[in-house]
Structure formats: structure tokens, C-alpha cells
Amino acid sequence: MLIPILILIFFILIMLSGPFLKKPRGSYDDVIKNIDITTKAVLSENWKLAEQNTKKLDSAWEIVIKRIQFSTERTEINNISLNIARLKASIAAKDKSSALIELSSAKEHWNDLGK
């Protein structure tokens, strides 16, 4: 009787840990910081910096995915991954408006992650 209750409690804790697990552990996995830096680079049309920060953003996101994969909805994870993929293409094309749309969408999905 005690083991099933402990297992249920364990799974509930995992499912509710999304907001805690998405917080950065260091600069290497700070998704929101990289989104903000990339946004500033795109606004100033510094495409080289935008490309560099998009790579950092992608690396940080891959680290965070491993932590949150069991505690958040898969569609939210996929949406952010798709935003980053589109962002890479927008920056390669030097399309300011498209890049800003993807950054804004990624930030909105990030804020909804774990709710």
C-alpha cells in the first residue's frame, strides 16, 4: 500500500517540476538571456552576433530539453524547437521581421512552459 502511494507522489512531483527545471543553472543554459541578446542583435541588424547567439540559444535549449522532457507538454517543447529552426533560417536570410516574429514566439512559448 505504501509503495503505490510513494510512486504516485514521485510522479506528481516530476509533473509539477517544470517551472523549477527550466530555470538556468548557469550562463550555458540560459535560454531567455540568449533570446534577449539575439533580439537586440537582430534589432540592430548585427547578423554575425545574431547568428552566434542563435547557436548559443540552440545549445542552451538542448540542455534544458533534457531536464524538462518529463514535466512539460511535448507540443510546447516542439514549438520552441521549431521557432529556433525558423530563427536560424531567418537570420541566414537576414530577414529582420521574420527573425523578430520567431524570437517573440519562442519567448511566449518559454513563458508558457510548465504552466
Q: What is the pLDDT of residue 107?
A: 96
Query: For residue 6, what are the domain limits?
Result: 2-112
Closest CA to 66 of 21, 112, 33, 28: 21
Closest CA to 42 of 111, 107, 88: 88
CATH classification at residue 19: 1.20.120.290
Q: What is the pLDDT of residue 92?
A: 96
Number of domains within the chain: 1
Q: What is the pLDDT of residue 115?
A: 73
Q: What is the pLDDT of residue 58?
A: 97
Q: What is the pLDDT of residue 13?
A: 84
Residues 48 and 108: their CA atoms lie apart, in Å, by 25
Q: In the chain, which stretches have pLDDT less than 70? A: none
